[in-house]
Amino acid sequence: MIYLMRHGADSPERFGGWSSYGLTEKGKEQVNKAKIDLKNKGIVEIYSSDLTRARETAEIVGEHLCLPVELRPEFRETNNGHLAGMLKTEAAKKYPGKYFNTLGWDEPWPGGESPKMFFERIRKAWTGFKAEIGLKEVLLITHAGVINVILCLENNVVFTNKKLAYRIGEAEIIAVDNLDK
């Protein structure tokens, strides 16, 4: 089984994406509560996006499970370029109307990647990851957008940036069977 976990809450006033901002106190509380559910899952390895909010989540969980964390930059959230970490009020002035769901499929964020590039990056990373880990019980700590793509791939749902297929809560844990379908 592969357990996917979204990081805890980060600043609601800032754009996420490739932001270097970490967890809020609320986010740390969410992770400390959620980690209890992972104790008896048989997890033998922990992997995480290298972005600060995911890495901090992984460190809290790793300490709880007495496991090291291997960072995987390929599981970063969408690269939102110049908007990463920017206050949303500032972004509204500099880049009015720029949101993931307003981008064309091939249209990149200013200084970042397009929805198509994001999807292809995660598709390739996920396919390789599943082949690499085999049937081990592992935990991958990442981001809502990444988990959304993975769930679309696993459930044969067409991924689009125009409509969110899956809503993943902060510090939510989802189990995905790692057997090939």
Using a 10 angstrom Cβ sphere, with 0-12 exposed, 13-18 middle and 19 or more buried, the burial of residue 153 is: middle
Of the residues 25, 45, 74, 77, only one is catalytic, namely: 77
Of residues 3, 52, 61, 4, the one with CA closest to residue 30: 61
Give the H or E element holding residue 56. helix 52-65
Of the residues 7, 56, 113, 170, only one is catalytic, namely: 7
Give the Cα separation of 53 and 16 in Å (integer): 9
7 counts as catalytic: yes
Give the H or E element holding residue 93. helix 88-94
Place of tokens 């967890």: 23
Compute how many other C-beta atoms are within 10 angstroms of the C-beta atom of residue 76.
Answer: 22
77 counts as catalytic: yes
Q: Which residues are catalytic?
A: 7, 77
